[in-house]
């Protein structure tokens, strides 16, 4: 669907970009930017591709993706399989996109975090390629330090290491064009660690955060404990993540104020979930698991539902509806 086909009251302006409505597709679905144009035609306002790494790498051993049907949830331990940032960014630049595209970058599995300088340079190598691509494709970069499926990756969320990483990336972002940068955070950080990380984001020159990634928690599931135990490790996504993702968005907005962009992700299944995220402080939202369960036209359907809610409320825009 063309961006202009959506209700103009749903438009969002953030990151120096225009979005037809707030609902995008989260990273992990189109890892190699092979389906950007077809996914854009389904009605998303934006897509996040990847996560890509500087070095090409295979998926983790199979089985590595599971449905928890009783929870409408997924568990994955794919581990950033991709053709490498060079190939993926070249494909995206060649094919282009009608809607904004986020390029998610992560650490290559073969690169250790000790010494940390090697891991940082690995990220920077991917960032350089992403920045070059965004000269011709409208979009932003997401720095993924929060997947549970790459060994030691989440250690890069500690405030000290995150500052080193973001300082190195923002140093590469000087000059024309400067591209928007977001940091993707985990839902499993305790409040103190989250506050410390948000302080780093606040004082940095990056543009905001994506909250949240998948969780390693397994509490409160309808799926039987024996089934969950048999599946084993991996990141859980879908409705069980909703409450914590919403909490992280609220806390992040309170800490970061109005100047930073927040993309809310986690357990969004219907229009009420979208509005809850926006009311909590999200500028944009992303879906993934509900797209798997709900079908290809879910984003467009959610946008229409929110438009109907605006009609019912009499609010002049999505932002006014959220404030009400």
Q: Rounded to an integer, what is the distance from CA 291 to the centroid of its chain?
A: 14
Query: Distance between CA 282 and CA 22 in Å, rounded?
Result: 9
Backbone conformation region of residue 273, classed left if phi is above 0, alpha if psi is from -120 to 50, else beta: alpha
What does the chain come to in residues?
324
Nearest to 129 by CA among 112, 160, 108: 108
C-alpha–C-alpha distance, residues 53 and 127, integer Å: 9
Report yes or no: 92 and 37 within 8 Å, Cβ to Cβ: no
Output the six-digit token pair for 118: 């090697």
Listed in order, strand segments (DSSP E) in 235-320 are 235-237, 261-265, 284-287
Would strands 65-68 and 73-76 be described as parallel, antiparallel, or unpaired?
Answer: antiparallel
Q: Is 237 a catalytic residue?
A: no
Contact 157, 197 (CB under 8 A): yes
Given the structure tokens 């919403």, which residue do they identify?
A: 246
Structure tokens at 95: 């094919």
Tokens of 261: 């962009």
Kindly give the pairing relationship between strand 261-265 and strand 284-287.
parallel
CA distance linking residue 254 with residue 266, whole number of Å? 19
Torsion 293-298-303-304 (CA) sign: negative
| Cα Rg of the chain, angstroms | 18
Which of 126, 146, 147, 269 is the catalytic position?
147
Catalytic center residues: 147
């Amino acid at each position: 669907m063309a961006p202009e086909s959506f209700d103009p009251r749903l438009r969002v302006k953030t990151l120096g970009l225009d979005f037809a409505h707030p609902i995008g597709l989260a990273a992990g679905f189109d890892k190699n930017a092979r389906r950007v144009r077809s996914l854009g035609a389904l009605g998303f306002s934006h897509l996040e591709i990847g996560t890509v790494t500087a070095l090409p790498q295979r998926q983790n051993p199979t089985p590595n993706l599971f449905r928890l049907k009783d929870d409408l949830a997924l568990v994955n331990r794919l581990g950033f399989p991709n053709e490498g940032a060079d190939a993926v960014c070249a494909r995206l630049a060649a094919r282009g996109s009608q809607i904004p595209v986020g390029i998610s970058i992560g650490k290559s599995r073969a690169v250790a975090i000790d010494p940390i300088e090697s891991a940082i340079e690995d990220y920077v190598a991917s960032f350089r390629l992403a920045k070059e691509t965004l000269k011709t494709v409208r979009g932003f970069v997401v720095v993924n330090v929060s997947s549970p499926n790459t060994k030691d990756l989440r250690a890069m969320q500690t405030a000290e290491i995150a500052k080193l990483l973001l300082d190195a990336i923002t140093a590469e972002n000087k000059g024309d064009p400067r591209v928007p940068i977001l940091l993707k955070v985990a839902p499993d950080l305790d409040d103190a660690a989250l506050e410390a990380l948000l302080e780093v984001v606040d004082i940095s020159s990056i543009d905001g955060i994506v909250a949240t990634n998948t969780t390693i928690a397994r509490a409160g599931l309808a799926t039987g404990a024996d089934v969950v135990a048999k599946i084993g490790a991996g990141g859980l996504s879908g409705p069980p993540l909703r409450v914590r993702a919403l909490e992280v968005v609220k806390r992040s907005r309170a800490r970061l104020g109005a100047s930073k962009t927040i993309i809310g992700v986690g357990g969004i299944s219907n229009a009420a979930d979208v509005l809850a995220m926006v009311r909590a402080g999200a500028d944009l939202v992303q879906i993934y698991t509900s797209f798997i369960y709900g079908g290809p036209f879910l984003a467009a359907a959610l946008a229409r539902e929110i438009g109907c809610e605006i009609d019912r409320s009499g609010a002049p825009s999505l932002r006014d509806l959220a404030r009400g």
